[in-house]
Chain A
Amino acid sequence: MSRRLAASSAIIAALAILAIPARPARRPHYGGTLRVEIGSTVNSLDPARAAANPADATVEREIESLIYEKQNADGSLAGVAGSGPFRISEWEPGKRLTLAANDDFPGGRPFVDSIEIDMGRSAHDRLVDLGLGRTDFSEIPAEDARQASGLGVRVSATQPDELIAIAFLPGHSAADDVRLREAVADSINRAAIVDFILQKEGEAAGGLLPQWSSGTAFLFPTTPDTVHAKELRSQIAGSSEIRLGYDSGDALEESIAERIAVDAHEAGITVATDAIAPGANAGRNDARLVRARMSSAKPGEALTSILSALDRAAGIDVAPLRNLDSAEQIYAAGRGALDGFHLVPVVWVPQVYGLSDRVRDWETPAAGESWPLADVWLDPGAATKN
């Protein structure tokens, strides 16, 4: 536990206790401004991009879902800005966005009058603001969920729906040997990553679908087999080094990459980690960590979306999936995609949100669903801290 945060936890907890309403509201209340903080910066809103990449679950897409009406059968956004439950009131690209309730929205006017979105807030600042009640809604890194709870923050986590995996990049000789890739896969202690890095917020990943979605994830081994990894390594001549890249702005990926390096080192494999700047070419890396989020709770659609995301992220060429009607077919497709160990699933990570106490009727979104901010209302009886 971070001692710095631990030291302030007592204060935050005390403030949180003071903020708890004596009696929660029973009926929805219209009005109020929902304060939202996000880590990324949004500079443009374009539903066409979301339509082109339906599985690309970004914060932009979440915001676009608030201002565009859903009209397509596949859930893609359509229409004009402001056709959704909210319309843009103020817009400072990259900094702040204010949305006002759309009284003419066919689905009904949202409960809150407006939403203020502050951008570029660090995870630490968001966590503190949540703890101090300065914001009503924010994303929390999965690995900080436990800490946030310890700070008295109201935490909501989805089912683990985002896969973090190693993608061995095509055309890199260092990772050409399937035995080396398999040895790396065998060496990874996924449970340790879930327990220590994710603070138990997640699930070890052996396959391309989580257990809660497919029901067959247990068939994919997730426990480390260091003995087998060493045996495979011993069959490989020379001292091949694998350069494993990760997103330089992603602390979770960095921690996971470092742990993979430790586990591989125990198996006699040298894995050097390498931060890749956003937009930079990962050309000198033999492999990189990639994230792929499920676009649906349905396993067939989820598998398709996952593979599509991995393809986009790492150029993994996967044969088109067909006949994903039954669990067996989905399992076989998932198993086939992992043949050759070009893809090595590591962990499933949930989406974790922090909420203030005055947010009511929050329903944790399922895989593929957007933030339900149009459906929540703010309890005026709950004390605000700002």
Chain B
Amino acid sequence: MTFRAKLFFVFTLALLVSVGVIVAGVTINTRRAFDTLNAEHTNALLAQFQREFDRRKVEVVNRVHGVAEDQGTVTMAMNLARPGADVSVYVNDAREVAQAHQLDFLDFLGDDGSIISSYEWPARFGYKLAWVTQPQDWSSVGAFLTKVDTQDGPAIGLLSVTPIRVGDKNLYVVGGERLDKQFLSELVLPEGMRALLYLNLDSQFQAGDLVDVNGPVTQPDPFTATISDELARPTERSFTIPYTIEAGAAERFHALPLQGRDGELLGVLLVGNSQRDLVAIERHIAMLGAAVAGGGLLLGLLLSWWAAARVTRPVKKLADGAQRVSHGDLGSRVEVRGPAEMMQLANSFNRMTDQLNEQRERLVQAERVAAWRELARRLAHELKNPLFPLQTTVQNMQRAKEIDPSQFEEVFRESTGILLSEIDNLKKIISRFSDFARMPQPELAAVNLNDLARSTTKLFESQFSAVGRPPITSELHLNADLPAVQADSTLLRKALENLVLNAMDAMPAGGVLMLRTTAQDGGVHLEVSDTGTGLTPEECDRLFTPYYTTKQHGTGLGLAIVQSVVSDHGGRISVESEHGVGTSFHIFLPMKPPPRPPDHAPANGDGA
């Protein structure tokens, strides 16, 4: 992956994360805002319910007071205060009075709490409502919730008690309103909200006791668990009923327990808020957010691409420059416009290439000096050996002429023979150096390396099994489909002979010489391996240096000549060696050598 791609990926990732965080933040804040709004709506409704409830209490108290102040009721109280009063004549009075005062419940109770007349349960006369006669300042109690037994079963009512005292006896007027769907229908609710009322009339949850403004709720099952919990632990709580998998169908409820005078749970008011509008707005915001995020993302991608390109352009220039340098173009320079850091980097790069150039020049100079010194050392070493016998022989001839002229002739003959022999050695030495200096330009023709390998091996077969030396076995692993390459067969043969000679020198105790040819992509591969003593890593590093040798009497030019030939063919040579196992030389030759630069002068003895 390129630096630009990575940078683009990082920018994009950062952008995605940023957009995601923003969208999440907006969503969360929106939801919180709606939750707050929801809670405010619910609280407002609860407050409204509380106000309505308080108003109803006052109204109930006033109505019951109105009944107590009714002339008929006062007359009843006065008559009942008389000794031996007959209460039975009033048994049907409650009905008409309740209807006249718009009360759902009305009871006239005697001094002992016995029902004289009951509207909600006319047949209940004679029974006592003991709680009414308990010491209590009913005027300060006001209206309160309580369970009321009626002819149709228990109900929840908002009741008030007003005693009428005549003499030493009381007539209690107990009246009130029923808490039912009618009560709910009179609550003014905002759109999307509704109120439900659960009447706690049984020991456990009964679906029929959950009503809304239309009567029993049509889908009571979702409320079962929550209301059951509420009955067990009365407290204000909020909960959501999903109804379906569609989020908009959900409804959030707030449960308000309705308790009686003694804290008993008589009912639960449920204020519901439809989530449809909320979900619609949330979806709208989410879609808007997605559109903005998508647009921002697209814009961000373009900007990221542009920024990555802008940032990486000087880096790419630097990379290209570095690549050119790596290919040997030390004169390469990088021109960068951009941030100061990048310009500083480019300047540093340019300075570095300048320094490399200078160092290379110095190195070349140093190598030249070293080469000359090595050449001088080697020449001195090679020439010193024949010069010493030459000097001795000449001195012998001088001494022989002065001391015994009669034997001078014989000494002269022997000495001239020695001189000629040593002069011949000097010629050979000079000839080898001359050959290295005069490496010719390859004359290209189609060459089959397999043939070359076979002929070369055949040439040395007699030496492999020469008398007096341990035998060397040759192995040829030649690729039959090896293509011919454009090369100079004479030079290649010379290089191969040097490698074979080098291998023979490495195997003084005999061994195996193996030649292998293989076809490689764009060229051929030749491997020459021996099972000799091997080389150290340091020796491998310097092996192709001219005049470097690991042998006692080598000139150090054999492998240098091999490298020169391979190089002149546009190929490569490398060495692998393991001490005690052997050494392998690998030569790769292209199918055709690349054209040589016109100014590339052939190496010769006068070359630097």
Contact = CB atoms under 8 A, between A and B. Distances in A.
Contact of A258 (B88, B92, B93, B151): B151
B89 A1 contact: yes
Contacts of A199: 88-89
Contacts of B124: 262
Contact of B123 (A2, A6, A146, A259): A259
Contact of A1 (B90, B122, B127): B90
Contacts of A261: 123
A46 interface: no
Interface stretch (A24-32, A116-124, A190-198): A190-198
Nearest to A150: B89
Contacts of B89: 1, 146, 199
Given A196-B126, A200-B88, A262 B93 contact: no
B127 A3 contact: no
A3 B93 contact: yes
Contact of A192 (B90, B97, B126, B151): B126
A266 B123 contact: no
B123 A262 contact: yes
Interface in A85-118: none
Interface string A4-20: 10100000000000000
Contacts of A146: 89
B125 interface: yes
Contacts of A4: 96
Most buried by B among A1, A197, A200: A1
Contacts of B127: 262, 266
Given A189-B126, A192-B126, A196-B126, A262 B121 contact: yes
A258 B96 contact: no
Nearest to B89: A1
Determine the interface band of chain B, counting residues with CB < 8 A from chain A: 10 to 19
Interface string B85-129: 010111111001100000000000000000000000111111100
B72 interface: yes
B206 to A, nearest CB: 15
Contact of A3 (B86, B91, B96, B122): B96
Main secondary structure of the interface of B (DSSP, over half): helix
A197 B121 contact: no
Interface in A186-210: 189, 192, 195-197, 199-200
Nearest to B116: A196
A4 B122 CA distance: 18
A259 B89 CA distance: 16
Interface in A279-318: none
Contacts of B97: 3
A261 B124 CA distance: 9
Nearest to A1: B89
Contacts of A197: 91
A248 interface: no
A2 B96 contact: yes
A196 B88 contact: yes
Most buried by A among B88, B90, B96: B88
Contacts of B122: 255, 258
Contacts of B123: 255, 258-259, 261-262
A188 to B, nearest CB: 12
Most buried by B among A146, A196, A197, A261: A196
Contact of B88 (A195, A255, A259): A195
A197 B89 CA distance: 9
Nearest to B72: A3
A337 B93 CA distance: 39
A6 B127 CA distance: 26
Nearest to A146: B89
B95 to A, nearest CB: 9
Contacts of A192: 125-126
Interface in B105-159: 121-127, 151
A2 B117 CA distance: 12
Contact of A2 (B86, B92, B151): B92
Contacts of A2: 92-93, 96
Interface string A262-279: 100010000000000000
Interface in B70-95: 72, 86, 88-93
A366 B536 CA distance: 154
Contacts of B125: 192, 196, 259
A48 to B, nearest CB: 41
Most buried by A among B86, B93, B96, B126: B126
Interface in A223-241: none
B96 A196 contact: no
Interface in B44-86: 72, 86
A192 B88 CA distance: 9
A225 to B, nearest CB: 15
A195 B86 CA distance: 9
A140 to B, nearest CB: 16
B78 to A, nearest CB: 14
A274 B460 CA distance: 135
Given A195-B88, A199-B88, A258-B151, A1 B93 contact: yes
A219 B151 CA distance: 33
Nearest to A189: B126
A199 B151 CA distance: 21
Contacts of B126: 189, 192, 196
A259 B118 CA distance: 12
Contacts of A6: 72
Contacts of A258: 122-123, 151
A296 to B, nearest CB: 31
B74 to A, nearest CB: 13
A255 B95 CA distance: 14
B2 to A, nearest CB: 85
A266 B97 CA distance: 27
Most buried by B among A195, A200, A261: A195
Interface of A: 1-4, 6, 146, 189, 192, 195-197, 199-200, 255, 258-259, 261-262, 266
Given A1-B89, A1-B92, A259-B123, 9 more contacts: A2-B92, A2-B96, A3-B72, A3-B96, A196-B91, A200-B88, A255-B122, A259-B125, A266-B127
17 contacts: A1-B89, A2-B96, A3-B93, A3-B97, A6-B72, A192-B125, A192-B126, A195-B88, A196-B91, A200-B86, A258-B122, A259-B125, A261-B123, A262-B121, A262-B123, A262-B127, A266-B127
Smallest CB-CB A-B distances: 9 pairs: A258-B123, A259-B123, A196-B91, A192-B126, A195-B88, A196-B88, A262-B123, A196-B125, A262-B124
